[in-house]
Amino acid sequence: MAFQFSREAYERRVKWFTEARFGMFIHFGLYSIPARGEWVRSEEFIPKEDYDPLINEFNPTRCDMRQWMRTARDAGMQYVLFTAKHHDGFCLYDSAYTDFKSTNSPAGRDFVREFLDAAREYGLRAGLYFSIIDWRHPDFPHYGDKQHPMRNDPAYGNENRDFNRYLDFFHAQVKEVCSNYGKLDLIWFDFSYDDLRGEAWRGTELMEMVRSLQPDVVINNRLEVSGEGYGSLAEGRPTPYHGDFVTPEKMIPPHGLLDVEGRPLVWESCVTMNEHWGYCATDNFYKPAPMLIKQLVECVSKGGNMILNVGPDATGRFPQRSLEILAEMGRWLDRNGESIYGCGPAGMEKPEYGRITRKGNTLYYHLYENTIGPMPLPGLEKDKVQAIRRLADGTEVLLSTNWVHSDYPDVVFVDLGPDPVLPDTTDTVLEVRLKD
């Protein structure tokens, strides 16, 4: 029977995701020990014989999943995503198909189970990242591959490698995580490239298996694409292995994303706090919390989510700078989260001083800086405004009657008082309730 896309089922599946808006990505694994990022094996051409012994050191005694989840919850995140298995092939769960796993390390722990249990305890939607590629598996292409650590060494030729045997292994591992850990809210595959995409992964078979075990799970689009590209759903010809959402990486699209028929696409910008996903001891280029708050607002104003990454160190602790940033973001969201959760584009032109998000009949004007004189609220009609309040504390904001804007009778202005500095110098949010 030919594949038939059900938009009704699709929209029902992604509803929670498009309302959540803000999530935490957690990259953790053996690469936390060399502390030079999650791609260290590929970037430094490290052979298996030199990388595998790291398993004998893997014992993150300070890893407390409940503390991780408290941090995510207090930061205002609504969902969390954890690396069950990254490109190096190391599994953070008790896989029956490999000995290269955390339960065989000195830690002796199934971190996936701990993560999911803790996320559920703290009321967070939870999902798993799972690498499509595996640099350790003997049947995955080595020499000549685009990223494999041994890609430049002809001694690692592919003559005796059986890619179908690798796919059997990959599918079996995905089946494990979909079968053994209860309901998953999210699966994040990573990633397709060159000719390895779609049916090269036996994508139809894989997706049918995942959907049979986790019918409500939300899945990204990287069985088809990498960080670039939208996938077949956006093209109006969804394949059986199309994803539910688009995944721009380390950037925010200039505009909201639409499919070929002009319908909004579900998308999530995956963002690092510094420059790496996995822990890098020398990477201190952290984005400040005010910048990340504004990036979150930007995503929501364009109809997207933001998932923000944390890379725990080898002991299992979140870096102190990450904790400080998350705490500051959490304090802002505690006061202003109504302008984020369940919100989307306002359908109005972006003001020069900030952005606008919307939920039903309520507009949220995000003010990044004050104006000279009364504040204009573009896109409003005065007789349709029911009330204006400062979202953080409920303070009434009055419409301005000042003579200075008398030349602009069609523009709504508000009086923010004589102080040129906004109450929240990062983002002061005005809640504008419209009449029915």
Tokens of 337: 């989260």
Instruction: Tell me the pLDDT tens digit for each residue of 356-373.
Output: 999 999 999 999 999 999
- For residue 1, what pLDDT is reported? 60
| pLDDT averaged over every residue in the chain | 97
Question: How many other CB atoms are there within 10 angstroms of residue 157's CB atom?
Answer: 13
Rounded distance between C-alpha atoms, residue 107 and residue 171, angstroms: 26
Dihedral angle of Cα 12, 16, 18, 22, to the nearest 10 degrees: -160
Domains of the chain: 7-343 (3.20.20.80), 346-434 (2.60.40.1180)
Instruction: Tell me the pLDDT tens digit for each residue of 253-291.
Output: 999 999 999 999 999 999 999 999 999 999 999 999 999
Band (pLDDT 50/70/90 cuts) for residue 3 is confident
Q: What is the mean pLDDT of residues 114-140?
A: 98
Helix axes 320-336, 289-301, angle to 10 degrees: 50
Rounded distance between C-alpha atoms, residue 326 and residue 55, angstroms: 30
Rounded distance between C-alpha atoms, residue 89 and residue 91, angstroms: 6
Instruction: Tell me the pLDDT tens digit for each residue of 58-93.
Output: 999 999 999 999 999 999 999 999 999 999 999 999
- For residue 14, what pLDDT is reported? 98
Band (pLDDT 50/70/90 cuts) for residue 2 is confident
Band (pLDDT 50/70/90 cuts) for residue 223 is very high
Q: Which of 88, 100, 349, 306 is nearest to 363 (CA)?
A: 349
Rounded distance between C-alpha atoms, residue 146 and residue 133, angstroms: 11
Look at the pTM and tell me if it is higher than 0.95. yes
- Count of residues for the chain? 436
